[in-house]
């Protein structure tokens, strides 16, 4: 994003310098048309169309859709802890540690038992609020096995800045072991 922003900034600066350069011939309407229509309208529209297409493709991948490959978990926030449940193992509950498989999409159903909280794992997905009486679904996916840190980024009372949780992404073998054994 920094490189793209730098290129756009450089292009704007070049165009700004060209606009203030001294000109000997002021009456050529064709030259003006190229600058106004070509670089003033067509270029921005092409860039915006490309960004829109990119956003739609990426956004489609993040939508929580029905699929056999999607793992479903529940996350419930409380004033000092997150509680996680697993659809594949109905009686399994973990506190402040979410276990997910790596390289598979996971739909997290986020809710709260008390006040508004925020579920956010910066390396895996965006932030989504947990609102009392409502269930929001966030799709996350860890590309590689490992440990990821999550936070509640919403002010929810005293000590909210220490309201954290951990996401452990397992490889396929460890995920099967988690589903079949009592791993905390």
**pLDDT per residue as tens digits for the range 19-49:** 777 766 655 555 666 666 677 778 888 889 9
pLDDT of residue 65: 62
pLDDT of residue 110: 96
Cα–Cα distance list, 114 to 44, 134, 135, 157 (Å) = 47, 11, 13, 11
Which is higher by pLDDT, 171 or 25? 171
Band of the pLDDT at 171, cuts 50, 70, 90?
Answer: very high
Band of the pLDDT at 134, cuts 50, 70, 90?
Answer: very high
CA dihedral 168, 66, 108, 90 (to 10 degrees): -80
pLDDT of residue 126: 87
User: Which whole number is the average pLDDT over 77-101?
Assistant: 92
**How large a percentage of the chain has pLDDT more than 90?**
46
* Beta-carbon-side half-sphere exposure of residue 99 (alpha carbons within 13 Å): 22
């Amino acid at each position: 994003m920094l490189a793209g922003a730098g290129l756009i900034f450089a292009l704007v600066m070049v165009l700004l310098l060209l606009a203030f350069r001294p000109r000997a011939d002021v009456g050529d309407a064709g030259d003006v048309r190229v600058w106004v229509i070509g670089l003033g309208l067509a270029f921005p529209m092409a860039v915006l169309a490309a960004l829109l297409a990119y956003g739609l493709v990426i956004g489609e991948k993040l939508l929580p859709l029905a699929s056999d490959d999607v793992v479903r978990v529940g996350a419930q926030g409380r004033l000092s802890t997150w509680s996680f449940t697993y659809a594949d193992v109905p009686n399994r509950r973990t506190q402040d540690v979410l276990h997910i498989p790596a390289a598979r999409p996971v739909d997290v159903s986020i809710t709260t038992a008390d006040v508004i909280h925020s579920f956010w794992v910066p390396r895996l997905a965006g932030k989504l609020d947990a609102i009392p009486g409502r269930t929001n679904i966030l799709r996350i996916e860890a590309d590689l096995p490992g440990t990821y840190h999550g936070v509640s980024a919403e002010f929810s009372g005293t000590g909210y800045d220490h309201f954290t949780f951990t996401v452990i992404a397992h490889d396929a073998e460890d995920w099967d072991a988690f589903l079949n054994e009592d791993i905390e």
